[in-house]
């Protein structure tokens, strides 16, 4: 019987591609999630940005998150990958938990 391997992260990432809106101060940008976890979300933005303040991410099914960017990576000069730490789930907490669920085999 194979041994169960522990996961490398406390909250493992799950690859999920969903449309989203990222907004801060007076700006809003369309994006797409790359991966999600209970503690964070990776978002590919449609245009390069310099985000270093707390932002809001809105996802389908009424999910709204307050996040803090922790890394920024440019992709092809046109796209921007932003890794975010979740500060607060404003709406859709149960939907978020369901979306992030990763079964342990």
Q: Are 45 and 82 in contact (CB under 8 A)?
A: yes
For residue 9, the cross-strand partners are none
- Identify whether 73 is part of a domain: yes
Give me the tens of pLDDT residue by residue for the chain, a chain 105 residues long: 445 445 555 567 889 999 999 998 888 999 999 999 999 999 999 887 777 789 999 999 899 999 999 988 887 767 889 999 999 999 999 999 999 887 765
CA dist 21 and 32 (Å) reads 8
- DSSP 3-state assignment of 42? strand
- Identify whether 26 is part of a domain: yes
- Identify whether 24 is part of a domain: yes
Among candidate residues 71, 72, 70, 41, the one with its CA nearest the CA of residue 57: 41
Instruction: Supply the pTM of this predicted model.
Output: 0.83
CA dist 97 and 30 (Å) reads 23
H/E stretch holding 65 reads strand 63-75
- Identify whether 69 is part of a domain: yes
The reported pLDDT for the residue numbered 61 is 87
Give me the number of domains the chain comprises.
1
């Amino acid at each position: 019987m194979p041994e169960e391997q522990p996961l490398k992260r406390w909250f493992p990432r799950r690859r999920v591609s969903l449309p989203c809106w990222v907004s801060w101060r007076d700006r809003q940008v369309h994006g797409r999630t790359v991966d999600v976890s209970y503690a964070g979300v990776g978002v590919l933005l449609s245009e390069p940005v310099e985000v270093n303040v707390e932002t809001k991410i809105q996802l389908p099914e009424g999910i709204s998150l307050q996040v803090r960017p922790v890394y920024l990576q440019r992709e092809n000069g046109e796209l921007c990958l932003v890794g975010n730490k979740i500060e607060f789930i404003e709406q859709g907490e149960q939907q978020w938990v369901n979306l992030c669920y990763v079964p342990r085999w």
